[in-house]
Amino acid sequence: MKFLGEYPAVLQSPGVIDQIGFLVRGDEILNALEDIIRSSKDMDLLRDAVLVLRGAPRISYQDLQETHSRFLEFYAFAASRFSRTSSYFPPMNRLPENKEVITALNSLSEVERNGRARPDILDYPQYMFPLSRKLVEMKLPDAAIQQLSMSPHDENDPFYNYLKGRVELIRDNYQNALKHSEKSVETLFNFEFAELELICLIFLGEAKQARKLIERLSEKNQFQQLDFRLAYETITNKNAWVLLDAITDELNSKESTDPWLHRLLRDLYQQKGKLDLSLQHSSFLFRTNQYADSDVDRHVDILKSANKQSEVLPFLQDMEIEAHSPKISIRIAHYFYEDKDYRSALKAFRKAFEKGADLSSDNKFVRTLIETGNVDEAERILEGHEASPEIMIRIYQKRSRIPEVLSLLEKYKGDTDSHKELYRHAAETLWYNTDVRDFLVNLFKETGAVWLGKVIVGKAFDNGDKKMALEICDNLLNIQQDDIEIRKIMVDLLVKSGNRNEAIETILKGLKYYRGPSDAIEMINVLFMLYFEDRDYDSIIRFYETNPTYVDSRNLQFVIRSYIEKENFSMAERLLSRYEGTILSKDTHQELLEDLKFKKDFLEITLYVSRLLKAEYKAGKVFNKQEAFYKANIPIERIEDVYNFLESRDFYYDINEEKYELLSRDVIQKAVKSSDLESVRDLKINVIYNNLERKDPIIARNLYLYIQDQLETARAPKLKNAHVLKQLKLVLKEKVKPEPLHVAYYLKTGISEALDVLSLMNYMSKMDRERFQ
Judged by DSSP in three states, 580 sits in strand
- Are the CB atoms for 376 and 399 separated by under 8 Å? no
Q: Tell me how far apart the alpha carbons of residues 71 and 128 are, in angstroms, rounded to a whole number.
A: 20
Per-residue model confidence (pLDDT) at position 26: 92
Specify whether the CB–CB gap between 226 and 261 falls below 8 A: yes
CB neighbours of residue 710 within 10 Å: 22
Q: For position 84, what pLDDT does the model report?
A: 45
Beta bridge partners of 584: 580
> Are 293 and 315 spatial neighbours (Cβ–Cβ below 8 Å)?
no
pLDDT of residue 57: 56
Band of residue 350 on the pLDDT scale cut at 50, 70, 90: very high
**pLDDT value of residue 73:** 43
Burial level of 166, CB count in 10 A (0-12/13-18/19+)? Answer: buried
pTM for the full predicted model: 0.57
Alpha helices in 448-483 (DSSP H): 450-462, 466-479
CA 767, 769, 772, 773 torsion-angle sign = negative
Residue by residue, DSSP assigns 133-188 as HHHHHTT-HHHHHHHHHHS---TT-HHHHHHHHHHHHHTT-HHHHHHHHHHHHHH-
* Cα dihedral 456→457→459→460 (10° resolution): 110
DSSP 121: P
Q: CA distances (Å), 363 to each of 346, 380, 425, 599, in order?
A: 13, 14, 15, 60
CA dist., res. 491 & res. 523, Å (int): 9
CA distance 612 to 629: 9
Segment among 331-335, 568-572, 655-659, 737-741 with least mean pLDDT = 655-659
| Rg (the chain; Cα; Å) | 42
Each residue's pLDDT tens digit, 366-392? 999 998 999 999 888 888 777 888 888
Q: Under DSSP, is residue 532 helix (H, G, I), strand (E, B) or coil?
A: helix
Instruction: Return the SS3 of 584.
Output: strand
At 188 the pLDDT is: 93
Q: How far, in Å, CA of 315 to CA of 332, rounded?
A: 10
**Main-chain dihedrals φ then ψ at residue 487, nearest 5 degrees:** -65, -35
* 53-62, 166-175, 337-346: the lowest-pLDDT one: 53-62
- pLDDT of 78 strictly over 70: no
274, 612, 622, 685, 731 from 632: Cα distances, Å:
59, 5, 11, 15, 41
CA distance 86 to 134: 9
Report pLDDT for 477.
84
| Confidence at residue 15, expressed as pLDDT on a 0 to 100 scale | 75
Contacts 24+ apart (CB under 8 A), 176-182: 178/204
Instruction: Single out the residue of 73, 75, 71 nearest to residue 61, CA to CA.
Output: 75
Tens digit of each residue's pLDDT (9 = 90 or more) over 669-719: 999 999 889 999 999 999 999 999 989 999 999 999 999 999 999 999 999
Q: What's residue 631's pLDDT?
A: 92
Residue 431's nearest CA partner among 454, 463, 406 is: 463
Task: Read off the amino acid at residue 601.
Answer: D
CA 553, 556, 557, 560 torsion: positive or negative? Answer: negative
Burial class (CB in 10 A: 0-12, 13-18, 19+), 36: middle
Domains annotated for the chain, with CATH where assigned, are 385-594 (1.25.40.10), 649-772 (no CATH)
Task: Decide: helix, strand or coil at residue 487.
Answer: helix
Contact 564, 596 (CB under 8 A): yes
The answer to whether 426 touches 393, Cβ cutoff 8 Å, is yes
Name the H helices within 372-433.
Answer: 375-382, 389-398, 402-411, 420-430
Q: Give the three-class secondary structure for 40.
A: coil
Could you tell me where the beta strands, DSSP code E, fall in 593-709? none
**β-strand partners of 580:** 584
| pLDDT confidence of residue 113 | 81
Where b means 16+ CB within 10 Å and e means fewer, 213-224 reads bbeebbeeeebe
- Share above pLDDT 90 across residues of the chain, in percent, rounded to a whole number: 44
